[in-house]
């Protein structure tokens, strides 16, 4: 009688997971969380999603679509470029025909609701970037989990936390916006919640996965300095004083009204991220 080793059976039945944008902070986190699966982690050099998938690419069991245009101000100068990445890129991923997780943003809202946004709220973006994310959601097709999250940070890549650590080590004071509120979300927690969402075979559609709690950018900067032991003051300024080209929602706090996985508080995410940076450093 033929005998199969248990490890061999597990290997044959491992889910084939394709990650786009795998070199970014979220892609790196997802690669770790889904490591027990058969992961194909593609960077932009492997597949620039503005173009159709490489001919030799095998259709996976699931796609985690992280590749995206993330420069909010840059999208005002080049809305077509943002659309090519965020709308065209999502359409090219959907053309594979596999279920897909598409990552979207709190910036699909105008931030004027006065209460947290839930999945049933209609988008109302106020920037070219936000519009590209809304249209990207529509391009995902019917086999998609649309995961909206907020103010992502992690131990790798370009993000607010890493910028504050650099500036806090160089300066005695930094000016940080204090009239925008959001839910700073650690990519490790978002990756774990993504796995929970797909492993539970939750229905396709829009899901809000963001950290518990909320704060302003200035609050987050002060917490970063406090947790990391940097003696740097935060000077609180308005969005108008900062002078960003793109409009931002003043308060886009994401919560779920359809039973999405809960994420830990943003302070817990901050502590975990700094601990990861400490190990790497």
Structure tokens at 272: 């975990």
Residue 129 among the catalytic residues: yes
Beta-bridge mates of residue 235: 175
**Using CA atoms, how far apart are residues 266 and 269, in angstroms rounded to an integer?**
5
Query: Quick check: 63 and 20 in contact, CB under 8 A?
Result: yes
Give me the numbers of helices (H) and strands (E) for the chain, helices first please.
Answer: 11, 12
Query: Quick check: 85 and 67 in contact, CB under 8 A?
Result: yes
**Using CA atoms, how far apart are residues 123 and 112, in angstroms rounded to an integer?**
11
Which residues make Cβ contacts (< 8 Å) with residue 178, sequence separation at least 6?
216, 217, 218, 219, 236, 237, 238
Q: Within a 10 A sphere around the Cβ of 263, how many other Cβ atoms?
A: 25
Annotated catalytic residue, options 103, 117, 129, 186? 129
Q: Within a 10 A sphere around the Cβ of 133, how many other Cβ atoms?
A: 28
Interhelix angle for 217-228 vs 266-280, to 10°?
40
In 3D, which of 204, 219, 277 has the Cα closest to residue 251? Answer: 219
**Using CA atoms, how far apart are residues 276 and 263, in angstroms rounded to an integer?**
18
- Cite the active site residues: 129
């Amino acid at each position: 009688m033929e005998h199969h080793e248990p490890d061999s059976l597990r290997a044959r039945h491992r889910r084939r997971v394709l990650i786009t944008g795998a070199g970014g902070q979220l892609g790196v986190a997802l690669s770790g969380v889904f490591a027990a699966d058969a992961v194909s982690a593609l960077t932009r050099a492997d597949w620039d999603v503005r173009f159709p998938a490489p001919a030799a690419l095998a259709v996976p069991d699931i796609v985690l679509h992280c590749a995206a245009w993330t420069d909010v101000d840059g999208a005002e100068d080049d809305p077509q470029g943002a659309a090519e990445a965020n709308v065209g890129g999502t359409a090219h991923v959907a053309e594979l025909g596999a279920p897909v997780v598409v990552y979207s943003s709190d910036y699909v809202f105008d931030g004027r609701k006065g209460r947290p946004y839930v999945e049933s709220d209609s988008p109302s973006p106020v920037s070219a970037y936000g519009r590209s994310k809304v249209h990207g959601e529509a391009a995902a097709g019917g086999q998609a989990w649309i995961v909206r999250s907020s103010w992502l940070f992690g131990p790798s890549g370009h993000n607010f936390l890493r910028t504050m650590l650099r500036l806090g080590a160089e300066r005695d004071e930094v000016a940080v916006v204090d009239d925008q509120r959001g839910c700073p979300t650690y990519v490790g927690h978002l990756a774990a919640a993504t796995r929970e969402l797909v492993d539970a075979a939750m229905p396709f559609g829009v899901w809000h996965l963001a950290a518990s709690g909320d704060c302003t950018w200035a609050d987050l900067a002060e917490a970063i300095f406090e947790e990391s032991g940097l003696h740097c003051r935060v000077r609180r300024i308005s969005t108008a004083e900062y002078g960003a080209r793109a409009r931002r929602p003043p308060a886009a706090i994401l919560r779920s009204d359809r039973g999405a996985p809960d994420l830990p508080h943003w302070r817990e995410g901050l502590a975990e991220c700094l601990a990861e940076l400490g190990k790497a450093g």
